[in-house]
């Protein structure tokens, strides 16, 4: 495992104390898709944005699925650990501490970000999950006390039900995460309101941070 294992974009943070956003695209996206989103959510944040390595009909994803909403759990586990290992190497190469790395994922990217929280919580310090669902239910459950998570889903989403959203929020809360659930009057698409609420959340939760972190 090395930095070459994922095509990716890296941009350093504007200041040593600023967070770095781990940008995780949706199905069919790439490492460039969410980069413009970073300064809208956290001005001055750094960026680490990998491209998913799984292809579905030529479209990049972060893990395989068997059908819509049905995940290949073996592949999901493998890809989650693979991504976490890449993040570790990137952290050493670019000087990014895990506690200052905040995942920002959309759809498939949000699902693998949630899987990181559940399987490799050491890899990231928090997450913004746009249109996520429960990726898997690990046993034993991880202990992630106080880990900040914003879960932003649409009430009109045809792919992710309100019940599924609440199930994910409950699972992360049971593991100790500090979960903020934001509902949007929208479907599966990302909206300006998502971005604004993520910005407000980041200002409230990520700043200020103690010196030396």
Which is it for the CA torsion 41, 197, 120, 100, positive or negative? Answer: positive
Average pLDDT of the segment spanning 49-72? 94
Q: Which of 49, 107, 115, 152 is catalytic?
A: 107
89 is catalytic: no
Q: Which of 33, 49, 115, 157 is catalytic?
A: 157
Domain positions in the chain are 3-205
Q: What gap in Å lies between CA 93 and CA 56, rounded to an integer?
A: 30
Q: Which of 8, 81, 89, 188 is catalytic?
A: 188
| CATH fold label, 3-205 | Rossmann fold (3.40.50)
* pLDDT at residue 68, rounded to an integer: 83
157 is catalytic: yes
Q: Which residues contact 43 (CB under 8 A, 6 or more apart)?
A: 14
Query: Cα–chain-centroid distance for residue 150?
Result: 10
Residue 193 dihedral angles phi and psi, to the nearest 5°:
-65, -35
Q: What one-character DSSP code corresponds to residue 42? A: S
Report pLDDT digits (tens) over 123-144.
Answer: 999 999 999 999 999 999 999 9
What's the whole-number average pLDDT of the chain?
A: 94
- Tell me the whole-structure pTM to 2 decimals: 0.95
Site of tokens 């889903």: 153
Average pLDDT of the segment spanning 67-79? 93
2 is catalytic: no
Report which of 78, 71, 18, 76 is spatially closest to residue 48, judged by C-alpha positions.
18
Site of tokens 């199930």: 167
């Amino acid at each position: 495992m090395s930095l070459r294992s994922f095509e990716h974009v890296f941009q350093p943070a504007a200041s040593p104390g600023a967070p770095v956003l781990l940008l995780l695209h949706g199905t069919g996206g790439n490492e460039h898709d969410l980069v413009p989103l970073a300064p809208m959510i956290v001005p001055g944040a750094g960026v680490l944005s990998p491209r998913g390595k799984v292809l579905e009909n030529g479209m990049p994803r972060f893990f395989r699925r068997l059908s819509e909403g049905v995940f290949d759990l073996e592949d999901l586990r493998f890809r989650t650990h693979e991504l976490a290992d890449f993040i570790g190497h990137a952290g050493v190469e670019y000087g990014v501490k895990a506690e200052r790395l905040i995942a920002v994922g959309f759809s498939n990217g949000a699902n693998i970000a949630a899987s990181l929280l559940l399987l490799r919580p050491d890899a990231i310090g928090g997450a913004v999950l746009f249109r996520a669902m429960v990726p898997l239910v690990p046993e034993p459950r991880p202990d992630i006390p106080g880990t900040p998570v914003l879960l932003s889903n649409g009430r009109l989403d045809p792919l992710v039900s309100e019940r599924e959203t609440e199930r994910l929020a409950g699972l992360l809360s049971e593991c100790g995460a500090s979960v903020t659930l934001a509902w949007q009057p929208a479907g599966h698409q990302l909206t300006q309101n998502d971005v604004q609420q993520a910005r407000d959340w980041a200002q409230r939760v990520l700043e200020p941070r103690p010196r030396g972190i």
